Structure 1
Amino acid sequence: MNLEEYKIELLSDFEELINFYTGKDKMDDFLHNHLQDCEESHYCKTFCVRLKANNTIVAIFALAFDSVDIDSDDFDDMRMGAAGTDLPAVKETFREQFEQKYTYPALEIAYLAIEQKFQSLHLGSALIEEIASMARNQRYAGCVFLTVRAWHTSDYSAVGFYEKNQFAKLTPVPQMDVWPMYKTIWPEE
């Protein structure tokens, strides 16, 4: 999917989401009734994705700084290709020190929602790559991973979508209605 026909900008008027529906009642309720509170409470920054042709909002996502705890077993899994995400590109002279750390800087995809009429166009996957690019290019802090708490309930699960986009599970079991996941944004070549 090519993002050339779309533009990404900070969402400034949450009233614009009044006709935005994902088809998931719980998600739609959150977007219409609570997302603005999250932003105004400094939890996240919300972006909208618009069609350049008519300014229609087709997707939204919200980002927040995060960190991820990874241990030596996780790095071993990455080396063997069993983690579901790539080993981070790190200078070999720093690799041993890097892998002995416990916490790594990340950018969290706090929310990602595609308007129902635009689902199944691979827009979500393209946005994940765009968000990874934003994380690599921002100049405020170091960032090694993207994180997400993938919605996971008996009615709906986003885990498979994130796994297809090279996210790995951070925990062996979900935590309530979400499954914490992470993705390397600076993979080894």
Structure 2
Amino acid sequence: MTILDCSKLEIIKADKEILSSIEFDCGDEDLNEFLLEDSFSNIENSLSKIYLCLYDGFVVAFFSLSADSIKINKKLEINYPMYPAIKIGRLAVHKDFQGMHIGSILIDWIVGFCLELRSDVGIRFISIDAYNQEKTKSFYTKNLFEELQPKKNKNRRNVPMYRDLCQK
């Protein structure tokens, strides 16, 4: 395995011009299609913002962020029906860079971004609809996400998960 020099990673917000000139393959057609085709309309319609992770100028990963709200079934200090969240819509690592902890580095960056954003906007959670695969759920669990309603998720394509920004 190649050792990654994390100081060379750069995260930028993508626009349509940048997205029209990149190549990317994470090994999952749905995620590739989202970045290379669907992301344009998401940006244009203000549905999400797309961020690229570059390594020496090469796109090694991407993620999308949008506003969300989630219903938490556990008791919190303030009982609201829904709580403000930032949703990770998509997150993928280029197939040549998988297994190098880039996904976890991106999660750490997103957490820091959300904590900084909280000084201006109320955000309690980060949410994601993870693929219902053991490897994917395990990745998010290792990054401190919990399943919402685990008993209802067995036969679903995606599993709603969340991370509480008020817990360490």
Structure 2 length normalisation: TM-score?
Answer: 0.85
CA 1:2/1:162 → structure 2, altered by over 3 Å: closer, same or farther? farther
> Which residue is equivalent to 1:48?
52
Q: Are residue 5 (structure 1) and residue 29 (structure 2) matched?
A: no
User: Which whole-Å CA distance do the structure 2 matches of 1:37 and 1:151 have between them?
Assistant: 23
Q: Are residue 113 (structure 1) and residue 113 (structure 2) matched?
A: no
Deviation at 1:55, TM superposition (A): 1.0
Gaps of 5+ in 2: none
> Which residue is equivalent to 1:83?
none
Whether the 8 Å contact between 1:150 and 1:157 is mirrored in structure 2 is no
Per-residue CA distance 1:22-60 (angstroms, 9 max, x = gap): 011222223222122222121100011112xx3111111
User: Which whole-Å CA distance do the structure 2 matches of 1:105 and 1:126 have between them?
Assistant: 23
Match of 1:137 among 86, 99, 116: 116
User: Which whole-Å CA distance do the structure 2 matches of 1:16 and 1:124 have between them?
Assistant: 23
Deviation at 1:104, TM superposition (A): 1.1
3-state SS of paired residue (2:31): helix
> Which residue is equivalent to 1:167?
145
Q: Are residue 148 (structure 1) and residue 128 (structure 2) matched?
A: yes
Deviation at 1:3, TM superposition (A): 4.1
Deviation at 1:160, TM superposition (A): 1.7
User: Which whole-Å CA distance do the structure 2 matches of 1:58 and 1:140 have between them?
Assistant: 30
Deviation at 1:108, TM superposition (A): 0.6
Which protein, 1 or 2, shows the higher relative CO under an 8 Å CA cutoff with sep ≥ 6?
A: 1
Whether the 8 Å contact between 2:147 and 2:159 is mirrored in structure 1 is yes
1:11 alignment partner AA? A
Work out the number of aligned pairs and report it.
160
The CA RMSD measured in Å over matched residues stands at 2.1
1:130 alignment partner AA? W
3-state SS of paired residue (1:20): coil
Q: Percent identity among equivalent residues?
A: 26
User: Which whole-Å CA distance do the structure 1 matches of 2:136 and 2:30 have between them?
Assistant: 14
Gaps of 5+ in 1: 76-87, 89-94
Whether the 8 Å contact between 1:66 and 1:147 is mirrored in structure 2 is yes
1:66 alignment partner AA? D
